[in-house]
Amino acid sequence: MGIQLPDPVVNLGAGMGLALTYGAPCRYNIGPEGRWWETVRRELSELGGVVDERIGPRPITGAEYAGTVDMPPALVDEYLWEEGFVRNPFSRLKTLDGQPECGSWVYRESSLAPRQHHVMLFEAGDARTHIYAHEEASSVNPRMGADHVDGNGQNIAKGVRWAREELPLTVEKETPDPPEAAWSVAYEREQD
């Protein structure tokens, strides 16, 4: 592994994310009209990965697949916003077979909640959207930033279960059982 940013720097970044996310909690910033963030996020993730691979792009795992919704991504954005999710503009980019995700959204109990439910959107064609999920330390809580970046306490199984209970999903893909662990565990299993 290359350079790793020190925990205080990562936690400062989480604090900046908190200010940018909740300082202007409007549709244009963290809602459906905030789709402009996706291009910025791709670039930031690529650049960040040069400095610290923990914040660079990573492949999504099959175990993170929660289901498919019969709506195009733009309508999924509207639905998630109405359900209390906020756009997650500083999430590291996820890719599915080389295709970048088209949206990253989180549900938190409050702006400083220690945990978050993270859903990642991929265009599925035919006006549908695949949703992948995990539960993890909040990316915008300055006390949890380092845990978030390191994947400490990340739980794919909990996130997938929650998404399947809370969202109008249909499970269309056979996937491995999601582990009660981080994406890196699922990734290693898929490589064997």
Tell which residue, 125, 133, 116, has the closest CA to residue 169: 133
Q: Average pLDDT, whole number, for the chain?
A: 93
Q: Phi and psi of 77, rounded to 5°?
A: -55, -50
> What tens digit of pLDDT does each residue of 90-144 get?
899 999 999 999 999 999 999 999 999 999 999 998 999 999 999 999 999 999 9
Strand ranges (E), the chain: 58-59, 65-69, 86-87, 94-96, 99-100, 103-107, 115-125, 128-137
10, HSE (Cβ side, Cα atoms, 13 Å): 22
Task: Check the CA dihedral 2-100-37-31 and report its sign.
Answer: negative
Task: Enter the tokens of residue 188.
Answer: 């290693």
**pLDDT > 70? residue 1:** no
Q: Are 175 and 63 in contact (CB under 8 A)?
A: yes
C-alpha pair distances (Å), 133 with each of 23, 25, 87, 162: 26, 23, 14, 9
Q: Identify any residues that bridge with 68 across adjacent strands, giving them in sequence order.
A: 130, 170
> What tens digit of pLDDT does each residue of 36-83 get?
999 999 999 999 999 999 999 999 999 999 999 999 999 999 999 999
Q: Are 61 and 190 in contact (CB under 8 A)?
A: yes
Q: How far apart are CA 95 and CA 122, in angstroms?
A: 9
